[in-house]
Amino acid sequence: MSATERKHVMPPRPLIPWTMGLCAGMCMSCILVLNMAADALLRERAPAFGPLWAIPVAAAVFVVLAHSCARLAPLKRWLYAASVGLVAGAVVSAWWAVGALSASRALDGRAASGLEFVVQGDPSINDDVYSYTCEARADGKNLATVRLSCDRELKVGAHVRVIGRVSRFENDAYGRSRVLRGEERKVKAVRVVSVDEGSPVPLLRLRNGLLASIAPATDPARALIAGVVCGRSAELRAQPAGDWFSLTGTAHLIAVSGSHLAIVGFVIEGVLQKTRCSRGLQRAILAITLVGYAAFTGASPSAVRACCMVFVTLVVNGAGRRRHGLSALFVT
């Protein structure tokens, strides 16, 4: 049978794949567990454990319905997927919550001057105040992730010692969002005592050198280039030009996401197709390059999500299966 004939007899892809049930179950259990963890980290009120019983109960009900109800036979795969998603999301979220609470307790009674902070990413800039996600260390051991605010720019990977105050986040929209991003405390630096930039890895050294050449703080156009090429949008968002993108609904253009990786991947794939490399080697080179580009731009959640979708597509193509965007999205 020819490839054309096989294509005609292949069943159509579902409009909504059953992997959506898996994704929905994970999202629901994550919402319940992580909000309880945020309450405990913010210490505004005692966490309510009662709603958590809904997760195993719902998972058990879905399994029973899928196994015993004949009328729901067409939805059996959906029900099983949702139950697995509920349990998996609860387990992973609970594991994260235990680690976050343990890290938060490790900072109890510690002064900022007794800690070393390692900058993990680009800053957010507000009224000349720079805020960074940092790893707080003591005696060479990572204790927790914190939000460090100071009055100067620091490079990614820098080791910083400050005099300041360690405190909890307020239970408002900002504080809750930072806690759910994994930042257990906030640190307000009164004075920066020392900064050791160390010797960054080659990829980070390349990014820092490129950003120094672009100089995003000097001009909105340069800030835009830094955002599009290097994934650093702090300077652009701190200028009026950043508000223009928000007002026009085009802020996603300065965040490295699927469109950026699609362009990079298209160029690399076009070059590789002109070589004599095997298809397997081409896929491996493409995957490694996209991971490198995602890391180069700061490994934002949108870039990681896009990388995972590309991996799903490459695996599917390598296995001789047809592409299906929604299935790749829900699996990711």
Q: So what's the pLDDT on residue 6?
A: 53
pLDDT for position 244: 85
pLDDT at 241: 79
Helices (H), the chain: 3-9, 19-42, 54-68, 76-106, 173-180, 202-214, 220-230, 234-237, 240-247, 258-272, 279-296, 301-318, 325-331
Residue 272's Cα: distance from chain center in Å?
A: 29
pLDDT at residue 43, as a whole number: 76
Q: Is 143 in a helix, a strand, or coil? A: strand
Query: In this structure, are residues 26 and 86 in contact, taking their beta carbons and an 8 Å threshold?
Result: yes
Exposure class string for 199-215: b at 16+ Cβ within 10 A, else e = ebeeeeeebbeebeebe
Residues forming a β-bridge with 274: none
Contacts of 197 (CB under 8 A, 6+ apart): 155, 157, 158, 159
Question: In which element (H, E) is residue 182 found?
Answer: none
Burial readout 26-53 (b: 16 or more C-beta within 10 A, e: otherwise): bebbbebbbbbbbbbbbeeeebeeeebe
Asked if 160 and 194 count as a contact pair (C-beta separation under 8 A), the reply is: yes
One digit per residue, the tens of pLDDT, for the chain of length 332 reads: 555 555 556 677 777 888 899 999 999 999 999 988 888 888 756 666 677 888 889 999 988 888 887 777 778 889 999 999 999 999 999 999 999 999 988 888 888 888 999 998 888 888 888 999 999 998 888 999 999 999 888 888 889 999 999 988 988 888 899 999 889 899 999 999 888 877 677 888 888 888 888 888 888 888 888 888 888 888 888 888 778 888 888 777 777 777 778 788 888 888 888 888 888 888 888 888 888 888 888 888 888 888 888 888 888 877 777 777 788 888 88
Side chain identity at residue 107, one-letter code: L
131: β partners: 124, 149
Give the tokens for residue 107. Answer: 């900072």
* Largest Cα–Cα separation, the chain: 75
| Per-residue pLDDT reduced to its tens digit, 6-52 | 555 667 777 788 889 999 999 999 999 998 888 888 875 666 667 78
What's the DSSP call for residue 157? T
